[in-house]
Amino acid sequence: MANDRDRLLPRNPLLRQTVARLLFAAPVLSVMGCAEEDLGCIPYDEHEGRYDVSSRLPDGGVPNDLNCLQVCTKQTAHRCKVNSVPTTHPDGGQTLEPYTNCFTIVPAGCASDGRRPEGLQAARAEARCALGSHFARMAWLEAASVPAFLRLAEELKAHGAPAELIRAARRSAGEEVRHTRAARALARRHGATVPEVEVAPFSPRSLEALLHENAKEGCVGETHGALVAGWQARAARDAQVREALSQIAEDELRHAELSWAVEAWATERLSSDARQRLREARLAAFHDLERRVAQEEPDAVLVQQAGLPSRDAAMHLLQGLQVLIA
């Protein structure tokens, strides 16, 4: 009999079937097409990235869209937007707490954002070429997922979640360490340096705030990440990328399953209004992802060597995910 501590979460058949069906369309390589090629060096472009802060203005006031650059901590931030998140207080009262999206310029070639922790500070990879930049950013995001899962495990424990969810979150943090190593090796191979991960200190938050992050970074982000990694594992011409990504894709699918399992467990504890807000947050995150994918055609070298889906293929994949997200 399997040790209780080793037991994995139950599989999510709808998630697995949807991802498997969408991956049928991936352009699997024939062995004949894998001859060594001179990759050259395609310089990377830049595009807009984002990080969120919840700080107040220096005078204690609430930022607005005109003055919010004052709370953005990175000098590369060039525009900002103020949003709010519903927060439940210990006395049961609810308020809308403001937070600011800070937009920066970052290298292109982002496949999937994985699970970004709250307070992740923007960083810039040192890379001359598109492939190096892509894998350095990937390694940075994989490394950033480690504190995100450790925090999730702590918060699940504090909210009295079942032990199997807490264990799965801790196990996921360990898997993200492995992903970081694999992506770092790919980045190094292309002469790129992975930036350090910096995360602002976490502060306690409500179950609902946790679930909003889980909806965006997990149910949407990691589900999409699992799908894109599975695509890369089939389509990349670079054998080392295929090997690394096939392990990562398997793990990411379990991370996506964990996200949906967390949501299924926790939504029973929410009021119907809070459940509706959560659905809306998940949809908003999905539409945000759709907008980003629609705006970016990956470099040809990333499509060929790293196996990234082209913009059209990526949009098709997102359409296929709607059955899960809506």
C-beta atoms surrounding 312 within 10 Å: 9
**Gap between the Cα atoms of 109 and 311, Å rounded:** 12
Choose between 77 and 143: whose C-beta lies nearer to Fe ion.
Answer: 143
Compare residues 107 and 117 and give the one whose CB is closer to Fe ion.
117
Rounded to a whole number of angstroms, the minimum distance from the CB of residue 286 to Fe ion is 17
Distances in Å between the alpha carbon of 196 and those of 141, 143, 180?
10, 9, 12
Residues in the interface with Fe ion (CB under 5 A) total 5
Judged by CB under 5 A, which stretch of 86-94, 171-179, 239-247, 278-286 contacts Fe ion?
A: 171-179
Tell me which stretch binds Fe ion (CB under 5 A): 39-47, 161-169, 177-185, 292-300: 177-185
Between 171 and 237, CB nearer to Fe ion: 171
Please say which residue, 142 or 299, places its beta carbon nearer to Fe ion. 142
Question: Stretches 11-19, 54-62, 169-177, 302-310: which one binds Fe ion (CB under 5 A)?
Answer: 169-177
CA dist., res. 162 & res. 170, Å (int)? 13
CB 82 to Fe ion: min, Å = 29
Binders of Fe ion among 68-127, rule CB under 5 A?
none
Nearer to Fe ion, 238 or 257 (CB): 257
Q: Which residue, 149 or 286, has its beta carbon nearer to Fe ion?
A: 149
| Contact present, 108 and 299 (Cβ < 8 Å) | yes
Using N-to-C axis directions, what is the helix angle for 272-295 and 239-267, rounded to 10°?
A: 160
Q: Find where tokens 């990691």 sit.
A: 222
Least gap, CB of 323 to Fe ion (angstroms): 21
Question: Least Å distance between CB 226 and Fe ion?
Answer: 8
Q: Looking at 126-134, 139-147, 198-206, 290-298, which segment touches Fe ion (CB under 5 A)? A: 139-147
Q: Residue 176 or residue 257: which is nearer to Fe ion going by CB? A: 176
In this structure, the number of other CB atoms found within 10 A of the CB of residue 264 comes to: 11
Q: How far is the CB of 214 from Fe ion (least distance, A)?
A: 12
**Residue among 142, 213, 217, 299 that touches Fe ion (CB under 5 A):** 142
Distance in angstroms (rounded) separating the CA atoms of residues 172 and 214: 14
Quote the least distance from Cβ 251 to Fe ion, whole Å.
6
Residues 247-306 that bind Fe ion (CB under 5 A): 252, 255
Residue closer to Fe ion (CB basis): 130 or 139: 139
CA distances from 27 to 22, 134, 231, 278, 290 (A): 11, 20, 8, 35, 22
Q: Name the strands in the sheet holding 46-53, side by side, starting at the edge strand that comes first in the sequence.
A: 46-53, 94-107, 79-88
Name the token pair of 62. 């609430």
Judge contact between 68 and 81, C-beta under 8 A.
yes
Q: Which residues contact 4 (CB under 8 A, 6 or more apart)?
A: none
- 10 Å CB burial of residue 31 (0-12, 13-18, 19+) is exposed
Cβ at position 142, least distance to Fe ion in Å: 5
Among 171, 179, 184, 224, indicate the residue that binds Fe ion (CB under 5 A): 179
Evaluate whether 195 touches 133 at the Cβ level (below 8 Å).
Answer: no
d(CA 274, CA 30): 49
Q: Which residues bind Fe ion (CB under 5 A)?
A: 142, 176, 179, 252, 255
